[in-house]
Structure 1
Amino acid sequence: MALFPASALRSGVRKREVFGWAMYDFANSGYTTVVITAVFAAYFVGGIAKGAPWAAFAWTAALSISYAIVMLTMPAIGAWADLRGAKKRVLVVATTGCVLATAALALTPRFAGASGGVALAMLLVIISNAFYSYGESLTGAFLPELATPEGMGKVSGWGWSFGYVGGMLTLGICLAYVLWSQARGLPASHFVPVTMLITAAIYGGAACATFALLPERAQPKTAGGELGAWQQLRATYKRARAYRDFMWLLVCTVCYQGGVAVAITLAAIYAEQVIGFVASETMVLIFVLNVAAAVGAFSFGYIQDRIGHKVSLAVTLVAWVAVCVIAAVVTTKGGFWWAAAIAGLAMGSSQSAGRAMTGYLAPPQQLAEFFGLWTFATRLASIIGPLSFGAITWATGGNQRIAILSTAVLFVAGLLLLLPIDMRRGREAALRK
């Protein structure tokens, strides 16, 4: 526990609480790694939809619908959780929903190619991804309650690095089972369901550490219920000018997270269709990318607290631009490995920096609500990024190299939108009653 220096924590916060909080990142990262990126995405397209021309569009449509649902509901859910002092209760509900829906994905191979099979898989992806997103937002809202403003980068980095370790563990177990199954000639319809059950079990089991160790420090503010939550949310939007640096951060987030979403949802597809990776090589690639991301999140958390959140995020965005350029021009697997390694480092550090900046600029009495707004921005980005990639690919006759190069524009836009943010002014606004 020496990794958690007391100087980074608020008075009264025990190290075991931070460990419990970080364990939630450990718990939920397997979902994105296995379901969204490495395993179920490819199986949905090739196995359930049987490689139909519309299969990739159906997959991105399911994700976009889930993100749209979260965009429309998470800010109000966050406001309600703040008013009721119920972040932890809502987190338990969100976790349960995602775990159950992920486990239910194990049933989808039975309906592969059948009428309604694609619709069932899409429905379960929508449900599981929406609940995952709720959980990600709510766990982020605990960060400012645990860390000092000066230590927020470190603590956020611990969480993200734990998350990538969890993602690697889940993917590693799944990969071992896939290789074992393939060596015995078992089809994907056999091993994909097992990987869904493995992912659900690790998510639910590791999250129990969070529920046991992380206390709810917020106190109920009113008994106004849902009406009070909506009133609070409307009041926040009306006072947006008072939080202009936070609002600039949200716009910046929409841009650069759009590019990150492309990497998360389409990296495996790009590696296989453009560079020539096979499925097992892709899983190894994603595993190593998670290693790099864990190193980036952990180490950059300490650097971030030294050089500042804004400068740290700017550095990672420059790295993302380099990733897009390299991925667009390389023609060998070795060259693409360089892009993946840089992407891993940039992914962990940029996501950690963005969450820490949100916690730094959010009013202490409205943490869940403001992290709900942050979730709105990240989910809007998750719609814009992949759909833009798909649209450019379609418009250029299937040229994914042009699409990945165009993704660099999102990171450049994020870098430009980062410039007007004044962290000191934003923090003063957040602390103003």
Structure 2
Amino acid sequence: MTTATTGDAPDLRASTMRRRIWGWFFFDWASQPYNTLLITFIFAPYVKELIGDGAVAQTAWGFGIAAAGIVIALLAPVLGALADTGGSRMRWIWLFSLMYVAGSGMLWFAAPGDFNLVLTLIFFALGLIGMEFATIFTNSMLPDLGPREQIGRISGNGWAFGYVGGLITLVLMLVFFAESAATGKTFVGLTPLFGLDPEMREGTRFVGPLTAIWYAVFMIPFFVFVRDPRAGPAPKGAVKRALSGLQSTLKSLPKTPSLLAYLASSMFYRDALNGMYAFGGIYAAGVLGWSVVDTGIFGILAIVSGAVFAWLGGMADTRFGPKPVITVCIVILTGVAVSIVLVSRDSVFGVAQAPGSTLPDLIFYALGALIGAAGGVIQSASRTMMVRQANPGRMTEAFGLYALSGKATSFLAPMLIGVATWVSGSQQFGVSPLIGLFVIGLVLLLWVKPDGDRAA
């Protein structure tokens, strides 16, 4: 029987760490279709088609996502605190994964002729809450995957890998399933697979089950390769200690001004970005008259841009640190938000367009590429920044607060858009609150120290 030499041990540890990192990447790969297919590019435009009126659809979508955001805001920090004192994080990821699969799978029942908007939004919210809560626990594992100087690269690579997963599912939907309401054919002229009925929009409705199946299959590498160092059962009194610790953390936030400023800044700019994602598809469907297939093609461009720039952004994060990367991205996204309001079928930046002009479509494609690029980079850099700002001993609780900062006002962007759209009757004016949210986030970022309060 042979034994490993001393030189073999580092190789074995490195191999184990590589498997853990790739396993962790697979959460982004598995979960990204909820954002890509359901929130933005396939299901949201489909809901607009069922409702008919773009402004009404945008209002309903805004209020529905706002309701889910309130639930996430209330529970996210508590769950994060509990995980820091309550044993293994894996059991929580299992629980919220089941919610993700159940919520997305049930969207199959959003059928034309028998469409129940309230029930559809409930199922959508169930899956969304599952995804967000699972993300809290997987994000908190990031510091365990490598040395501090490599965290930015790992985060960026994971985000890029997730974008590729979203891209593949979007292409699958467009080529094999999502049918045009006019022709009953997919983007390449095929009848939806598996005998799905185009008249009942079963190809497009398959987006829910596909999202659920994709997640269930590709979370297998995550559960096989990722090991939680805190794998034991929850100790006695964990809930009480968690809530007490959370209360102490919240009270001590003013003593960590950089962390407080970052949480406040990210609360606004991530809310604005999520608003862009949530309303991009439904906006294009209503303002430009795009079909589900048109919006899907727009999505491919945005995702490819997002994947490439998330990878490049990870390298920039490693070289320059996350703060300048985040700053540049906010400036770009603010410009995009202003541009979106000024682009319609009849006018581009105040210049009237002739009937049938393709310039509005081309401009919107370019804006989509910018959203994908800056959005992917800023989300990756944001979780790297959280690692720099947080107390290493309470990392999951910190990511619970990070989720809170992203979700405490997560109802704000959709609600403001819903109210502005309802009051004005205009989808264009309805998205204008995003501009103000980005500007507030940029101003608050001025008080954030690149290496957190420990650098003071």
- Flag whether TM exceeds 0.5 (same fold): yes
1:222–1:420 distance in 2 versus 1, CA, 3 Å: same
The equivalent of 2:133 in structure 1 is 134
Answering whether residue 446 of structure 2 is matched by residue 419 of structure 1, we say: yes
| Cα deviation, residue 16, structure 1 | 1.1
Q: Equivalents in 2 of 1:43, 1:143: separation in Å?
A: 35
1:15–1:427 distance in 2 versus 1, CA, 3 Å: farther
2:386 is aligned, of 347, 358, 376, to 358
Task: Give yes or no for contact 2:389–2:452 (8 Å, CA) kept in 1.
Answer: no
Partner deviation per Cα, 1:309-353 (whole Å, 9 max, x = no partner): 111100111111221233233431111222111111100001111
Task: Give yes or no for contact 2:45–2:291 (8 Å, CA) kept in 1.
Answer: no
| Cα deviation, residue 53, structure 1 | 7.1
The equivalent of 2:86 in structure 1 is 84
Answering whether residue 221 of structure 2 is matched by residue 209 of structure 1, we say: yes
| Cα deviation, residue 177, structure 1 | 2.1
The equivalent of 2:332 in structure 1 is 319
Task: Give yes or no for contact 1:277–1:333 (8 Å, CA) kept in 2.
Answer: no
The equivalent of 2:28 in structure 1 is 25
Answering whether residue 214 of structure 2 is matched by residue 192 of structure 1, we say: no
| Cα deviation, residue 145, structure 1 | 1.4
The equivalent of 1:96 in structure 2 is 98
The equivalent of 1:390 in structure 2 is 418
| Cα deviation, residue 70, structure 1 | 1.1
Greater displacement, 38-47 / 285-294? 38-47
| Cα deviation, residue 304, structure 1 | 1.0
1:256-295 to 2 correspondences below 5 Å = 256-295=269-308
1:273–1:109 distance in 2 versus 1, CA, 3 Å: closer
The equivalent of 1:176 in structure 2 is 175
The code of the aligned residue for 1:227 comes to K
Answering whether residue 263 of structure 2 is matched by residue 235 of structure 1, we say: no
Answering whether residue 41 of structure 2 is matched by residue 38 of structure 1, we say: yes
RMSD (Å) for aligned C-alpha atoms: 2.4
The equivalent of 2:436 in structure 1 is 409
Greater displacement, 264-273 / 173-182? 173-182
Greater displacement, 309-318 / 275-284? 275-284
Partner deviation per Cα, 1:209-228 (whole Å, 9 max, x = no partner): 11111110236684323222
1:22–1:107 distance in 2 versus 1, CA, 3 Å: same
Partner deviation per Cα, 1:174-204 (whole Å, 9 max, x = no partner): 1112356524481353113322111111111
Q: Equivalents in 1 of 2:100, 2:421: separation in Å?
A: 31
Task: Give yes or no for contact 1:261–1:381 (8 Å, CA) kept in 2.
Answer: no
Name the count of aligned residue pairs: 416
Secondary structure at the counterpart of residue 451 of structure 2 = helix
Q: Equivalents in 1 of 2:396, 2:200: separation in Å?
A: 40
The code of the aligned residue for 2:17 comes to R
Task: Give yes or no for contact 2:69–2:409 (8 Å, CA) kept in 1.
Answer: no
The code of the aligned residue for 1:343 comes to I
| Cα deviation, residue 287, structure 1 | 1.6
| Cα deviation, residue 428, structure 1 | 4.8
TM-score under structure 1 length normalisation: 0.89
- Structure 2 unaligned segments of length 5 or more: list them: 1-12, 192-196, 349-359
Greater displacement, 182-191 / 151-160? 182-191
Greater displacement, 52-61 / 239-248? 52-61
| Cα deviation, residue 147, structure 1 | 2.9
The code of the aligned residue for 2:439 comes to V
1:83–1:414 distance in 2 versus 1, CA, 3 Å: same
Q: Equivalents in 1 of 2:446, 2:141: separation in Å?
A: 27
Answering whether residue 396 of structure 2 is matched by residue 368 of structure 1, we say: yes
| Cα deviation, residue 243, structure 1 | 2.6
The code of the aligned residue for 1:18 comes to I
Answering whether residue 254 of structure 2 is matched by residue 226 of structure 1, we say: no
1:107–1:212 distance in 2 versus 1, CA, 3 Å: same
| Cα deviation, residue 110, structure 1 | 7.6
Q: Equivalents in 1 of 2:132, 2:141: separation in Å?
A: 15
The equivalent of 2:145 in structure 1 is 146
- Percent identity over paired residues: 26
Q: Equivalents in 2 of 1:321, 1:202: separation in Å?
A: 33
Task: Give yes or no for contact 1:78–1:138 (8 Å, CA) kept in 2.
Answer: yes
Q: Equivalents in 2 of 1:74, 1:95: separation in Å?
A: 15
Task: Give yes or no for contact 2:72–2:132 (8 Å, CA) kept in 1.
Answer: yes
| Cα deviation, residue 94, structure 1 | 0.8
TM-score under structure 2 length normalisation: 0.85
| Cα deviation, residue 12, structure 1 | 9.2
Q: Equivalents in 2 of 1:77, 1:251: separation in Å?
A: 20
